[in-house]
Structure 1
Amino acid sequence: MLLFCSQYADAAAHFDTQSRVFRLDGGDSTYAFGINAQDEIQTLYWGKRLPDNQQFPAAQASSGVASFDMPVNTTPQEYTGWGGALYVEPDLKITFPDGNRDLVLKYVSHNIEGDQIHVLMKDISRDVYVTLQYRMDEQTGILRRSADIENRTHQPFTIEQVASGTWNLPRGTDYRLHYVTGRWAAEGSLQEQPIHGGKTVLESRRGTTGAENNPWFMIDRTSSNDQDQGSVWFGALGWSGSWKISVEQNVLKDIRVTGGPNSFDFAYFLKSGEHFQTPYFYGGYSDQGLGGASRLLHRFEVDSLLPHAPSPRLRPVLYNSWEATTFNVNEASQMMLAEKAASLGVERFVMDDGWFGERKNDHAGLGDWYVNPQKFPHGLKPLIDKVHSLHMDFGLWVEPEMVNPDSDLYRKHPDWVLNFPGRPRTEGRNQLVLNLARPDVHDYVLQWLDKLLRDNDISFLKWDYNRNWAEPGWPSVPIEQQKNVYVDFTRNFYDILAQLRQKHPNVEIESCSGGGGRVDLGVMALTDEVWTSDNTDAYDRLFIQDGFTYAYTPAVMMAWVTDSPTWVNHRSLSLEYRFLSSMQGSLGIGADLNKWTPEDFATAKRMIADYKSIRETVQRGSLYRLMSPREGEQSVTESVSRDRKQAVAFAFLHSSSENYPFPRVYLRGLDENATYSLHLLTGKVAKNTPAAATGAYWMHHGFDVDLRGDFQAMAVTLERQ
């Protein structure tokens, strides 16, 4: 007998009292788990949505493999404590004051409300309670999982390892793992590898998310070779601290994916009566390939995750003054740049580093957040008023978590940084990391940011973070609590963002970490956009943006047009090429406008106007990767508006060779029976290309573009008639 969790027949969560099976439905996916005879919580199904009347058999634990791998290792449990004969990755490991480290969790009860299921588990003898939390997104079928650990014993204990949950896939030998790696200026490198016996660990040990690995994965089958076909399971961890995702094939070839805060150097001292809430671990399923999986993530992020969801503001076209002036900002130079930016149609003017304290270079000033009186003798108001008179809003660069040793703040509070007493304090970019876990540091950062926003009409903060941790000590608290720094730092970071948003609801915030070093679903829930990379070479960005968009929506992917050649590769690219590369995301300008010619201004003005006509489609539409820059000389992306009235395609050629033409472009996602007219934003198509044709024609017959030479680009739009 299937009991619905509420009075509504279409409720997303159900529980069958006879089989003791839970079921969640959303979008085109179903997730089911049950309580087996041993009172373990066991995964039953994760995949394509099944009919509502489809019942699941009761959960039945595995029989194990001889005495070496008992059933606890081969039963696909949702959440396991480290105890008994467990050898696979545990979700929770605890050390108790008496030295006991055995933890065996069993089902106690559950509660269902609407689209949420809470399952309460308890250790077999101690008052350690774990509440498993599930919430299914109705539109995309993306499931949000987390766990709450409660200490109801009469003494504190130490959590040595904790995860948000484990995703289980049925046994198979043809699974393939996709993930993203990188470094500064080379973020978003998409990797893939077969899943074999053993374990693959994706992680950051840096105190924050880190560019070298991103907390996201996709798993498909090797038989799935079309971008938009085949079964894909995917997940992303909403945590901006050190993190770990373990992808494990057990002895029966079942796949387990466990994720949460990184267990390296980790401990959390949990007092009696306290709770530990894990980060959210999101997971979803698509039968439309890697492309379909990423489109589901994009839709979920825009409609359910970002601030102001389901209708976040479209990203305005911005200008940032960094490359024009670096640290040498002043009132006159910024006003002059603002006038030039406004003439292009820019909507937001952002002043970058150098406006505060004794900030003349990167050696001093961080931590002293007062307006430099020599550069801005009348404060920021005259500049802000000028920007507003030009019909742009005003933004400002900040780096709240950092301090230069050459600063008034550090001289006054040297104990405020992460440090181990008597050990070196490693500097990166001539700066140290403030210990945001400290309540006094949290309060200081929140107070000066709040004052900055109260005293000035600022619409946007570019929140930067230009180094990772070293010496992660917190010597001002008892020894047993010092490793709490890994969690409390990130929690306080989130709290500051949340309080600023509450106090200043019209201020937008960008997450930046020397490029894309802090991009994850945790920070995205509290910020409006992210800085993708400091590498703005337009050709390199084709690769960086390709990898980025597997996990994250173009609606938050900032992409700047900067001067050519760039510092990165000393490669010269046309202004049109640079614009088209950036127009695939959220467009910004970072070039030195003082060096532009009248022809450059005319080109930029035209391209910005074109971008505004397609902005909603690019930022909120469905992204199709028609040709990947990783697979040849060409790259083509297509974005289709939600109502399928507009599509825009960007085509890029690295180099022609041997007189071969550009491959034919076959669009996707259109209404087959509707007629679409084709319009050139820039470039050429073959002479025999019809001015209008059905969606079926554009998708199945395709069309040819005329791209020859080196580093060429073009773009077309299709409008439904």
Structure 2
Amino acid sequence: MAITVKDKIFNLETENTLYQMKVDRFGVLNHLWYGEKTDCCMDYLLDYPDAGFSGNIYEAENERTYSLNTLPQEYSTSGVGDFRISAISVTHEDGSNALDLRVREYQIKKGKYEIPGLPAVYAKEDEAETLEITLKDTATEAEVILKYGVFEKEDVITRSVVVKNSGKTPIVINKVHSMCLDIPYGDWEWMHFYGRHTMERQAERVPVLHGISESSSSRGTSSHHQNPAVLLCEKDCTETNGHCIGAALMYSGGFQAQVEKDQLEQVRLVMGIHPDTFEWTLEAGEAFYTPEVILSCSTTGFAKLSQNFHHIIRNHVCRGTYQLSSRPVLINNWEATYFDFNEEKILNIARQASKLGIDMMVLDDGWFGKRDDDCSGLGDWFVNEKKLNGGLKALVEKINAMGMKFGLWFEPEMVSEDSDLYRNHPDWAIQIPGRKPMRSRYQLVLDMSNPEVVDYLYGVMSAILRENHIEYVKWDMNRSISDWYTATLSRGRQMEMPHRYVLGLYELLEKLTSEFPDVLFEGCSGGGGRFDAGMMYYCPQIWCSDDTDAHERTFIQYGTSFFYPTSTVGSHVSAVPNHQTGRITSIETRGVVAMAGSFGYELDLNQLSEEEKAVVAKQVTHYKEYQSLIYNGDYYRLANPFEDGMSAWSWISEDKKTILVQGVLFRAKPNVLRKTLRLMGLEAKKNYKIAGTEEVYTGVALMSGGVLLQRAVGDDVSFEIVLEEI
């Protein structure tokens, strides 16, 4: 069994790790250990001094070494003497906010728990176990249920929390995080993934400082600016050595991850919904469910940790027909035409794409309503017949006749003031009465907490999908959210709206993906502004970034790879000079970088030379040959683009016999030795042949000495090496 309990000690064991907790003599749940298996109780490490002014619970009498402010807690609370960051804060009817939680009972169940209204990691009954520990406040009827899903084979533990009001009066939840993790040992650093539009998930590794560090978003989405996934690692941790812990929140709204180093050098990590845009009134008999955190630990470095997340997301988060199957290579018209297109322009792009072996034509923004720029039309999901004078159905049929699938862009959550929808339902847009709303990209946001809005969007979108042979939907969302207000909630409950917005979004996605399981839904939010595991439950791929520059994409995809599998990364070859940076890179380099994701093109193929078209045809064939390896193989980061002057990565097949190595050398320098690249994950004593040559090397040679790369001629030169075990 993955979960065992003995002498009030809870052991959650995976293939390589142990997560351990203990109920102490006062009923407090202490965290003991998260790391390699030890085969013993780790409470012997709990050796605490009388740290001045820490405070002691009443039952401890004059035992000054017992303090909630110094002991490692499994779920920290506020108001009762733990002055570190708390995981939960509530206000009772009398105005007090103390919450003193003690263990009441526990249950072990086969299979994996579900979370009403929220995405969660799923499993068959024999693939996971669930532990539920019920904590109760010492003075009220407030209860907190800690839920743990243990995936033994995957080295993954999921965490979620349920807050129950078993009393007779309301409780206001001011903050409720999904996870608290106390680590009383080690010298830790943390890695977060910051950025901005067109520069998402830039990896930053820094020491955990005394005090509180934070990665968060209060923008209504998980955001371009911080990603809801963080790493803790000991200072000596590398890709292949050392202790590291990763946490990824399955939530697409505002989030908060805080790390604190306390007076005794202990580290605490909490993660969940951002409290600045959250409050929830819990009436008598009601329960509140938090989003889920995916937690994993590696004692052999970052590569193993990343692979754990890749495997769990691909196999137990993503769903639908395209979860594990190959995906179509697509051509998107956005950077080829922007809003300036008609049916013939789209057909011309599709004809050329079909000749080159591309599988799908995607029609992006501008096909609907009065939509000739980004100032009008959003919300009017009917065909703009001035552009598509034969209608959408006729266009789809013509493209299908070329042997190609058809995909369509939507931005369902947005509305333009210049639209029929807004003129008919101005009350459906998020705006505070008496105030002018903030515009962004000259658009407003629909109130997804309003069931009427969800019903409207489901009605118009499902009708389009039923009436036309559409096999792909690009779901975009192009702004941050402010002006939180909804007429559907009373004055005192307005700050429930940001979370209810996310619940409405998930409800709409669940309806559509359930009804149309064969449609490939791709998430997008100005590129990678909502790139999180919550969206991946509905969309098995997400547009990684609006920056399609191959050089910059290596940095973005490097950070993305720490948590998210290649198959979830939407990545395209675009035109040069690049539309975001003006940089010119070869079509070979653009192809190699885009292949490290769900592959496609975003340019007018008719503008390419005959030589470039031949390269595209070869790229499409090559990608299809290796797509299964790229999606399912173990992924390794072989170079850090922030430090090494190049970016390099590889995939190793499940049977360990095929290795695909790719990368980009950033700058050519004269009169230097060729670069060597050390590989990872090979069998040390096996022999490997480099495809297309007679060169054979041992695994230990390739991992210790490396492989010689080509000499770079020019900047941003790509390379690819295929090795086969012999």
Instruction: Please say if residues 191 and 230 of structure 2, whose CA atoms lie closer than 8 Å, have aligned partners that are also in contact.
Output: yes
Separation in 1, partners of 2:721, 2:97: 62
2:224 pairs with 211, 220, 224, which one?
211
Residue in structure 1 matched with residue 245 of structure 2 by the alignment: 233
Distance 1:332 1:207, change over 3 A: same
Residue 689 of structure 2 is aligned to residue 703 of structure 1: no
Letter in 1 for 2:145: T
Separation in 2, partners of 1:557, 1:276: 32
Greater shift after overlay, 703-712 or 364-373? Answer: 703-712
Separation in 1, partners of 2:502, 2:570: 23
Residue in structure 1 matched with residue 720 of structure 2 by the alignment: 715
Separation in 2, partners of 1:196, 1:346: 50
Instruction: Please say if residues 314 and 555 of structure 1, whose CA atoms lie closer than 8 Å, have aligned partners that are also in contact.
Output: no
Separation in 2, partners of 1:340, 1:606: 14
Name the SS of the counterpart of 1:555 in structure 2: helix
Name the SS of the counterpart of 2:683 in structure 1: coil
Name the SS of the counterpart of 1:676 in structure 2: strand
Residue in structure 1 matched with residue 674 of structure 2 by the alignment: 662
Instruction: Please say if residues 350 and 399 of structure 2, whose CA atoms lie closer than 8 Å, have aligned partners that are also in contact.
Output: yes
Separation in 2, partners of 1:27, 1:380: 52
Letter in 2 for 1:177: W
Residue 215 of structure 2 is aligned to residue 202 of structure 1: yes
Residue 200 of structure 2 is aligned to residue 187 of structure 1: yes
Separation in 1, partners of 2:102, 2:705: 58
How far off is 1:673 after superposition? 3.7
Residue 131 of structure 2 is aligned to residue 141 of structure 1: no
Separation in 1, partners of 2:360, 2:137: 55
Letter in 2 for 1:90: S
- Give me the CA root mean square deviation: 1.9
Residue in structure 1 matched with residue 53 of structure 2 by the alignment: 67
Separation in 1, partners of 2:361, 2:156: 36
Residue in structure 2 matched with residue 597 of structure 1 by the alignment: 609
Instruction: Please say if residues 364 and 408 of structure 2, whose CA atoms lie closer than 8 Å, have aligned partners that are also in contact.
Output: yes
Separation in 2, partners of 1:61, 1:279: 34
How far off is 1:472 after superposition? 1.2
Residue in structure 2 matched with residue 105 of structure 1 by the alignment: 101
Residue in structure 2 matched with residue 127 of structure 1 by the alignment: 141
Residue 56 of structure 2 is aligned to residue 42 of structure 1: no
Residue 390 of structure 2 is aligned to residue 378 of structure 1: yes
Name the SS of the counterpart of 1:632 in structure 2: coil
Greater shift after overlay, 377-386 or 277-286? Answer: 377-386
Residue in structure 2 matched with residue 431 of structure 1 by the alignment: 443
Distance 1:469 1:481, change over 3 A: same
Instruction: Please say if residues 315 and 556 of structure 1, whose CA atoms lie closer than 8 Å, have aligned partners that are also in contact.
Output: no
Residue in structure 2 matched with residue 692 of structure 1 by the alignment: 696
Instruction: Please say if residues 679 and 703 of structure 2, whose CA atoms lie closer than 8 Å, have aligned partners that are also in contact.
Output: yes
Q: TM-score, normalised by structure 2?
A: 0.93
Separation in 2, partners of 1:582, 1:378: 34
Residue 561 of structure 2 is aligned to residue 549 of structure 1: yes
Distance 1:343 1:382, change over 3 A: same
Distance 1:33 1:310, change over 3 A: farther
Separation in 2, partners of 1:67, 1:698: 57
Instruction: Please say if residues 393 and 467 of structure 2, whose CA atoms lie closer than 8 Å, have aligned partners that are also in contact.
Output: no
1:197-346 matched pairs, under 5 angstroms: 197-224=210-237, 226-308=238-320, 312-346=324-358
Distance 1:691 1:184, change over 3 A: same
Letter in 2 for 1:198: G
Task: Using the aligned pairs only, state the percent identity.
Answer: 31
Letter in 1 for 2:94: D
Residue in structure 2 matched with residue 155 of structure 1 by the alignment: 169
Separation in 2, partners of 1:663, 1:527: 39
Separation in 2, partners of 1:156, 1:116: 29
How far off is 1:672 after superposition? 3.2
Residue in structure 1 matched with residue 4 of structure 2 by the alignment: 14
Instruction: Please say if residues 652 and 712 of structure 1, whose CA atoms lie closer than 8 Å, have aligned partners that are also in contact.
Output: yes
Question: Could you list the per-position Cα deviations for residues 448-489 of structure 1 after superposition, in whole angstroms to 9, with x for gaps in the alignment?
Answer: 222121111111110000000121122442111111111111
Residue in structure 2 matched with residue 95 of structure 1 by the alignment: 91
1:26 pairs with 14, 27, 31, which one?
14
Name the SS of the counterpart of 1:73 in structure 2: coil
Instruction: Please say if residues 320 and 517 of structure 2, whose CA atoms lie closer than 8 Å, have aligned partners that are also in contact.
Output: no
Greater shift after overlay, 695-704 or 341-350? Answer: 695-704
Residue in structure 1 matched with residue 114 of structure 2 by the alignment: none
Residue in structure 2 matched with residue 411 of structure 1 by the alignment: 423
Residue in structure 2 matched with residue 7 of structure 1 by the alignment: none
Letter in 2 for 1:702: G
1:469-508 matched pairs, under 5 angstroms: 469-508=481-520
Instruction: Please say if residues 178 and 190 of structure 1, whose CA atoms lie closer than 8 Å, have aligned partners that are also in contact.
Output: yes
Instruction: Please say if residues 129 and 150 of structure 1, whose CA atoms lie closer than 8 Å, have aligned partners that are also in contact.
Output: yes
Letter in 1 for 2:157: L
Instruction: Please say if residues 40 and 106 of structure 1, whose CA atoms lie closer than 8 Å, have aligned partners that are also in contact.
Output: yes
Instruction: Please say if residues 122 and 128 of structure 1, whose CA atoms lie closer than 8 Å, have aligned partners that are also in contact.
Output: yes
Residue in structure 1 matched with residue 124 of structure 2 by the alignment: none
How far off is 1:310 after superposition? 11
2:181 pairs with 146, 161, 167, which one?
167
Distance 1:697 1:386, change over 3 A: farther
Letter in 1 for 2:81: A
How far off is 1:50 after superposition? 3.7
Instruction: Please say if residues 420 and 475 of structure 1, whose CA atoms lie closer than 8 Å, have aligned partners that are also in contact.
Output: no
Tell me, which stretches of 5 or more residues in structure 1 are unaligned?
Answer: 1-10, 681-688
Aligned length: 697
Separation in 1, partners of 2:48, 2:448: 45
Instruction: Please say if residues 20 and 33 of structure 2, whose CA atoms lie closer than 8 Å, have aligned partners that are also in contact.
Output: yes
How far off is 1:190 after superposition? 0.7
How far off is 1:690 after superposition? 4.0
Distance 1:69 1:641, change over 3 A: farther
Distance 1:309 1:547, change over 3 A: farther
Separation in 2, partners of 1:69, 1:597: 75
Q: TM-score, normalised by structure 1?
A: 0.93
Residue in structure 1 matched with residue 123 of structure 2 by the alignment: none
Separation in 1, partners of 2:321, 2:159: 20
Instruction: Please say if residues 184 and 534 of structure 1, whose CA atoms lie closer than 8 Å, have aligned partners that are also in contact.
Output: yes
Instruction: Please say if residues 163 and 260 of structure 1, whose CA atoms lie closer than 8 Å, have aligned partners that are also in contact.
Output: yes
Name the SS of the counterpart of 1:98 in structure 2: coil
Separation in 2, partners of 1:265, 1:385: 46
Question: Could you list the per-position Cα deviations for residues 266-325 of structure 1 after superposition, in whole angstroms to 9, with x for gaps in the alignment?
Answer: 211222222110010121111121222112211221122211499622332111111122
How far off is 1:491 after superposition? 1.0
How far off is 1:523 after superposition? 1.2
Separation in 1, partners of 2:675, 2:240: 19
Residue in structure 1 matched with residue 526 of structure 2 by the alignment: 514
1:643 pairs with 655, 672, 680, which one?
655
How far off is 1:364 after superposition? 0.6
Residue 678 of structure 2 is aligned to residue 678 of structure 1: no
Separation in 2, partners of 1:525, 1:652: 32
